[in-house]
Amino acid sequence: MKNILLTGGSGFIGSHLVRLMVNKYPDYNIVNMDKLTYAGNPENIKDIENKSNYTFVQADIVDDTAIFELFKKYNFDAVIHLAAESHVDRSISNPKEFIMTNIVGTLNLLNAARDAWKDNMQDKVFYHISTDEVYGSLSDTGFFYEDTSYDPRSPYSASKASSDHIVRAYFHTYGLPIKISNCSNNYGSHQFPEKLIPLMIHNIKHNKPLPVYGEGLNIRDWLWVVDHARAIDTIFHNGEVGETYNIGGHNEWTNIDLVHLLCDTMDDRLGNEKGTARKLITFVKDRAGHDMRYAIDATKIKDELGWVPSVTFEEGLASTVDWYLENEQWLDNVTSGAYRSYYEGQYEKR
């Protein structure tokens, strides 16, 4: 029996991980602690909410008293920490929220784990989920490796880089048994439609302009979210304490090529003439400090832990498009209210 605290389990990646862990490990008690910000949605994990090995607690990781009480109550053996403010554009308009949640919130969890495990750290794990964005921006060639120097450029990536450094500092200074992974861009079901892929699917469906930043030539390396959850499961169980693992799909796309692919897939699904959705593409003012290219080298996790992605991008993207089309209510629910005012303030014409 293991008691596991999983933070941010009602968000995009967290919900896929909660589903995987609750179904795969009936002997573990999984406690999902989430503040339920705009990005946290209980609908994302409706299918497992009544399972006997699952508990939900609504709390804010910035609230250190609440975190300490939670650790006292549940006697955790492990933490898998995903809770974060995660959207670069929001970090540009409101950096403080990112500093509080991503840095101070992570510090609070580390302090609570250190205190709870002070007499015996044997078999305990504090696993911090991070992003490839901490490594900065690549030009046309090269990859991010586990030992690439950090060079974050947005308030989001700077806050994640800071939290990674603090997690490592707790390993070296206090001997806290930590693991870290840095993953490339995820896509899949249940992603909040402020991020590129669900935003484009939503707008194509509603015949709205498709806002592409700059020339659309920035490159991202895309991985199916279920494969990220599988990688986290692998690292949690088999990764070495104190180690970092990069996770990625060797799947680089310029934004404009990806938007073209989505347009053609959507035309096909909606029965529209080919080329219909592409007419919606609108080039808008570039994101401030827009990182040019991300590309992960995932050799270490493949060679040492045997993890590789389970689907091709074509398969993963097709199933993602189908999910959004079959779950219109989910999209309609999350795009009502606050989403609309966010969206209206976000894009400026070039």
Q: Which residues are catalytic?
A: 132-133, 156
Name the token pair of 317. Answer: 């993207």
- Closer residue to ligand NAD, CB minimum distance, 14 or 211: 14
Is residue 330 within 8 A of residue 45, CB to CB? The reply is no
Binders of ligand TYD among residues 206 to 245 (CB under 6 A) are 211-213, 218, 220
Work out what residue 213 binds among ligand NAD, ligand TYD, none; the CB cut-off runs from 5 to 8 Å by kind: ligand TYD
Nearest to 247 by CA among 214, 220, 221: 221
Partner that binds at residue 29, options ligand TYD, ligand NAD, none, CB closer than 5 to 8 Å by kind: none
**Token pair in block for residue 240:** 């070495």
Q: Which of 195, 202, 228, 300 binds ligand TYD (CB under 6 A)?
A: 195
Q: Which of 4, 5, 6, 12 binds ligand NAD (CB under 6 A)?
A: 12
218 binds ligand NAD (CB under 6 A): no
Token digits of residue 329 = 């209510």
3-state SS record for 170-218 = HHHHHCCCEEEEEECEEECCCCCCCCHHHHHHHHHHCCCCEEEECCCCC
82 interface partner picked from ligand TYD, ligand NAD, none, CB below 5 to 8 A per type: ligand NAD
Query: Looking only at residues 116 through 175 of this chain, which bind ligand NAD when binding is defined by CB under 6 A?
Result: 129, 131, 160
> What are the C-alpha distances in Å from 245 to residues 47, 183, 300?
30, 8, 7
In this chain, which of 22, 196, 247, 277 binds ligand TYD, going by CB under 6 A?
Answer: 196
The conformational region for residue 142 under phi > 0 = left, psi -120 to 50 = alpha, else beta, is left
In the list 62, 107, 167, 231, the residue contacting ligand NAD (rule: CB under 6 A) is: 62
| Least spacing, CB of residue 292 vs ligand TYD, in Å | 9
**Residue closer to ligand NAD (CB basis): 213 or 277:** 213
Query: What are residue 221's DSSP bridge partners?
Result: 252
- Is the C-alpha dihedral spanning 298, 189, 294, 157 positive or negative? negative
Residue among 239, 246, 229 nearest 305 (CA):
239
Using CA atoms of 234, 31, 20, 114 in order, give the dihedral in degrees to the nearest 10.
-10
Q: For ligand NAD, which residue of 6, 40, 135, 136 counts as binding (CB under 6 A)?
A: 40
Give the Cα separation of 184 and 253 in Å (integer). 12
- Binding to ligand TYD (CB under 6 A) within 251-310 occurs at 255, 287
* Residue ranges in 117-154 assigned as alpha helix (H): none
Least spacing, CB of residue 144 vs ligand TYD, in Å = 13
List the single partner that 255 binds among ligand NAD, ligand TYD, none, CB under 5 to 8 Å by kind: ligand TYD
**Which position's Cβ is nearest ligand NAD?**
11
Which residues contact ligand TYD (rule: CB under 6 A)? 88, 185, 195-196, 199, 211-213, 218, 220, 255, 287
Which residues contact ligand NAD (rule: CB under 6 A)? 7-8, 10-14, 34-37, 39-40, 60-62, 82-86, 101, 105, 129, 131, 160, 183, 185-186, 192
